[in-house]
Amino acid sequence: MKRALLFTLAMMSVLVVSLYADASVQDIIITPTQPSSLTISVWTDRPAGATYYPGDNIHIYFKTSQNAYVTIYDYTTDGNVRVIFPNFFQRDNFVRGGMVYVIPNPNYDYNLTVSGPNGREIIEAIASTTPVIQPPVPSNKAFGEIPDGPNYLQKLKLDITGKTVAVGVTYFYVGFVPSTGIVHFESQPAGATLYVDGIYEGITPLDLQLAEGDHLAVFWYNNTNISKTFHVNPNTYNTVRVSFYPQQSANFSVNFNTSPSGAMIFVNGRMLGISPCVVNLAAGSYQITIVKPDYSTIVTQISVNQNQNFNFNLYRLSF
């Protein structure tokens, strides 16, 4: 008989304190930082957003467009990050492009069994052409546990910035079917590429049915991105709008450019985009931190009172 490994994977729990109490979706979700020919898809044996109940077995599948090294994470309600691939049974994370891989691998004697508490589980897969992400493989546990999950994810975002990586995301619900609302996404100009919670959804304008709770939208247009967090209430119609044109409003469009590009832009300690990016800010003063691996970090103050452009030169560190 196969060993059953409890897959306790819950977020946004309706009965317990969720991971979002300590970290926002913007802290958790990793979105593509730059266009890449490398892609990765990850999915389960039910459609994205499906419901599993405690005791159900689950299979997780993934595929890359080319040979790559793959790491797959899941997020639990206690704020920890768990590495489910590689794992004690499947230790080699080098995969062949175009091949479909499955967890658990049928060649090994174990199952993944869903357990509580109720909530949403997010699974995030990262592929790279070089082994830049190599989490430790556990010696006596099925999966590796990483403490202080949100801080680990922030560091991971720094580590992969500017590298040839691809990100794939899927999610499911444990123990309940969530209430939903309709969200209309539009951009000026139309035709922006839209990711919601790290999942590619299509080209604006479009409508999506989303579960209640907090979500993260990232719009890309001409290699520039705008990030927006938003909340969905059940049985409502919501609109999320962005403009890639400068606009006069209560908030101002602040354009951050760096040379070279691909730097993380932190505003008052929160990461809001990857350069080049546009951030909507109210009038006032802000502390800006610009971080790119292997380059000196810039910390400065800016004052916002109109639509503005900021350009920063980054200097490579000598080792």
Residue 202: pLDDT above 90?
A: yes
Extended beta strands in 65-109, E state? 68-75, 81-85, 94-95, 101-103
For the record, the structure tokens of 211 come out as: 């579960």
Domain co-membership, 78 together with 224: no
**Mean pLDDT over all residues of the chain?**
82
The answer for residues whose C-beta is within 8 angstroms of residue 253's C-beta and 6 or more apart is 243, 246, 247, 278, 279, 280, 307, 308
- The pTM score is 0.70
Residue 79: pLDDT above 80?
A: no
Domain co-membership, 185 together with 211: yes
Q: What angle do CA 35, 252, 312 make, to 5 degrees?
A: 55
**For residues 196-204, average pLDDT:** 91
**For residues 169-198, average pLDDT:** 92
- The whole-number pLDDT of residue 185 equals 97
Q: Which of 21-35, 143-157, 207-221, 264-278 has the lowest mean pLDDT?
A: 21-35
Into how many domains does the chain fold? 3
**For residues 239-265, average pLDDT:** 85
- The whole-number pLDDT of residue 151 equals 73
**For residues 6-14, average pLDDT:** 36
- The whole-number pLDDT of residue 17 equals 30
For the record, the structure tokens of 236 come out as: 């409502």
- The whole-number pLDDT of residue 134 equals 63
Domain co-membership, 42 together with 117: yes
Residue 5: pLDDT above 60?
A: no
For the record, the structure tokens of 94 come out as: 């080098």
Burial class for 184, CB neighbours closer than 10 Å (0-12, 13-18, 19+): middle
Burial class for 140, CB neighbours closer than 10 Å (0-12, 13-18, 19+): exposed
Residue 217: its H or E element:
strand 213-221
**For residues 9-34, average pLDDT:** 48
* Within a domain: 92: yes
More confident residue, 228 or 131: 228
In this structure, how many other beta carbons lie within 10 angstroms of the beta carbon of residue 186? 17
Which residues are registered as beta bridge partners of 169?
124
Tell me the CATH number at 308: 2.60.40.1120
Structural domain for 283, as ranges? 251-313
- The whole-number pLDDT of residue 18 equals 36
